[in-house]
Amino acid sequence: MMSADWPAPWLRDRLGYAPQDLALFRAALTHRSAAGPNNERLEFLGDAVLNLLIAHELYSAFPHATEGDLSRLRARLVSREPLAEVALDLGVGAVLQLGSGELKSGGFRRQSILADAFEALCGAIYLDGGHGAAAPLIARLFAPRIAALPPPEALKDPKTRLQEYLQSRSLSLPRYAVLHIEGEDHEQTFRVSCEVPGLGLRCEGRGSSRRRAEQDAARRMLEEIETPPDRPS
């Protein structure tokens, strides 16, 4: 049974935050499967708050990154898996209010539920304390993850990286062709070739869609280009 001041002790202990309106945080930590106000509306708000504040942090941390680079970096931080990891680190699952069905099925460990609850918490903090409370808290929670991000160019997909490599050397763009499609309609495998005439190179890739097969072929082409030729001993 919840104590009268739930979840204030948890908020102070894990987030270092002293709430003013406990009702906001009770809702933020209540899944729609449980009785009472739930976190769906706060999740909607928190998603926007989180995207804005993370965008601000990345804008400052990567002054030379392009808009596309910043978007890819942000996706590494605010998608379901990383948000669920932050929620796990904070122990959100232990204080979530879930319906009996979700409790039995382990909902307190489910990525989607944890990520949604974390977004809802961000929304609650923004409503409770404003930008001045939300911004430093988000910056502190995500600082290690931002510091560990790879260089922006490493996040580009293989086809984009291959195209930029060739364009920077005034070489013609790669040619992709579907060589073979096998399997049933619902479970097909595509085999695709990638040819760079200017370098005299050709690679093949496979995937469950044409796009994935092309990405695989481009990745193999980049590996071929970046592998230094064997030198005679």
Residues with catalytic annotation? 47, 119
Task: Give dist(CA 57, CA 131) in Å, integer.
Answer: 14
Strands in the chain per DSSP E? 175-182, 189-196, 201-207
Which candidate, 48, 51, 43, places its Cα nearest to that of 124? Answer: 43
Q: Are 125 and 18 in contact (CB under 8 A)?
A: no
Q: How many other CB atoms are found less than 10 A from the CB of residue 165?
A: 16
Sign of CA dihedral 62, 66, 70, 76: negative
Phi, psi of 91 (to 5 degrees): 75, 30
> Using CB atoms within 10 A of its CB, is residue 98 exposed (0-12), middle (13-18) or buried (19+)?
buried
Q: How far apart are CA 126 and CA 132, in angstroms?
A: 8
Cα atoms found within 13 Å of the Cα of residue 229, Cβ hemisphere only: 2
Single-letter code of the amino acid located at 213: A
